[in-house]
Amino acid sequence: MKPWWPRIIVKPRVRLSRPSFRMPTRPPDTVIFGIMFLAILFVLGGNIYTLVRTPPAIAGSQSGAPILIAPGIDQQLGMEGIVASVIILVGVAGLGLVYYASKYVFQPGYATRLMILGMIMAGVAFLIFSYLWNIKAGLL
C-alpha cells in the first residue's frame, strides 16, 4: 500500500529512549593528584599558620619601608607562605624532571638536558629557601 504523501517527504525512524540517571563517574586521577598536590603545597608553605594567626597584611619597619619577610620564626606574613609554596613547587618540579629523565634512556642527550634542568631547579629552590630561612632566623 502506498502512502498518500509524496515520496519527497520521508518518515523519520527515530527511537526515543529514556534518559538514564546513574551515579557520576569518578574524576580522573590527574585531577585528584593535582588537588592533593596543591593542598600539600598549601600546608607545607605554612599557610594554615597564616590563616589561624591572622597576621597583618603588610608589615612596615620604623622607617616606613615594607617588610616582605617577618623577622623571627614565630611569625609569618601572608606573602611568605605563598612564596614558600611556590619555591617548594619549583623544587619538586625539578626533582620530577630528574625522575622523568629516566624514561629517556635511549635518548641520552634529551635525558641529560632534563636532568641538568631538574638539578638546577631543585638547587635554586634549595638556595632560595636557605636564604629566606637565614633572613627569618636573623642570620643575615
Is 47 part of a structural domain of the chain? yes
Q: How far apart are CA 110 and CA 100, in angstroms?
A: 11
* 89 three-state secondary structure: helix
Is 21 part of a structural domain of the chain? no
pLDDT tens for 88-132 read 999 999 999 999 999 998 999 999 999 999 999 999 999 999 999
Indicate the number of domains in the chain.
1
For residue 130, the surrounding DSSP H or E stretch is helix 108-137
CB atoms under 10 Å from CB of 100, counted, come to 14
Q: How far apart are CA 69 and CA 58, in angstroms?
A: 10
HEC secondary structure over 12-57: CCCCCCCCCCCCCCCCCHHHHHHHHHHHHHHHHCCHHHHHHHCCCC
**Structural domain containing residue 120:** 29-57+68-137
Is 10 part of a structural domain of the chain? no
Is 100 part of a structural domain of the chain? yes
Three cell numbers, residue 132: 629566606
Average pLDDT, the chain: 85
Is 63 part of a structural domain of the chain? no
Is 16 part of a structural domain of the chain? no
What is the value of pTM for the model shown?
0.70
Is 129 part of a structural domain of the chain? yes
